[in-house]
Amino acid sequence: MTALTATHSNRRSPIYRRHSQLQAQFEQLADAIIVNHYADPTMEALLAAHLGLVDLSTLPRSGFKGAGAPDWATSQGVNLPDAPNRAIRQSDHSLVARLSQQELLILADINANSTLINSLNQQQLPAQTYSLPRADSHSWLTLTGSTAAEMLAKICAVDLRPQQFAQGQVAQTSVAKINAVVIRQDMGSTLCFHILSDIAATEFLWDCLLDAMAEYQGVAIGVAALRSLAAPE
200 and 173 in contact (C-beta within 8 Å)? no
Each residue's pLDDT expressed in tens, for the chain with a length of 233 residues: 346 665 555 678 999 999 999 999 999 988 889 999 998 999 999 999 999 999 999 999 999 999 999 999 999 999 999 999 999 999 999 999 999 999 999 999 999 999 999 999 999 999 999 999 999 999 999 999 999 999 999 999 999 999 999 999 999 999 999 999 999 999 999 999 999 999 999 999 999 999 999 999 999 999 999 999 987 64
Dihedral of the alpha carbons of 217, 222, 228, 230, in degrees to the nearest 10: 100
Residue ranges covered by each domain of the chain: 6-59+136-230, 61-135
Query: Which of 34, 60, 88 lies closest to 225, judged by CA?
Result: 34
What are phi and psi for residue 210, nearest 5 degrees?
-65, -35
> Cα–Cα distances in Å, from 146 out to 133, 150, 172, 189?
32, 8, 22, 10
Q: Which CATH class is domain 6-59+136-230?
A: alpha beta
Helix axes 41-48, 223-230, angle to 10 degrees: 60
CA distance linking residue 168 with residue 165, whole number of Å:
9
Which pTM does this prediction carry?
Answer: 0.95
Contacts of 92 (CB under 8 A, 6+ apart): 109, 113, 114, 115, 116
Q: Return the ∠ at Cα 154 (arms to 60 and 187), rounded to 5°.
A: 40
pLDDT value, residue 170:
98
Name 117's Cβ contacts closer than 8 Å, sequence gap at least 6. Answer: 60, 61, 62, 94, 106, 108
**Letter for the amino acid at 96?**
V
Q: Which fold has domain 61-135?
A: Alpha-Beta Plaits (3.30.70)
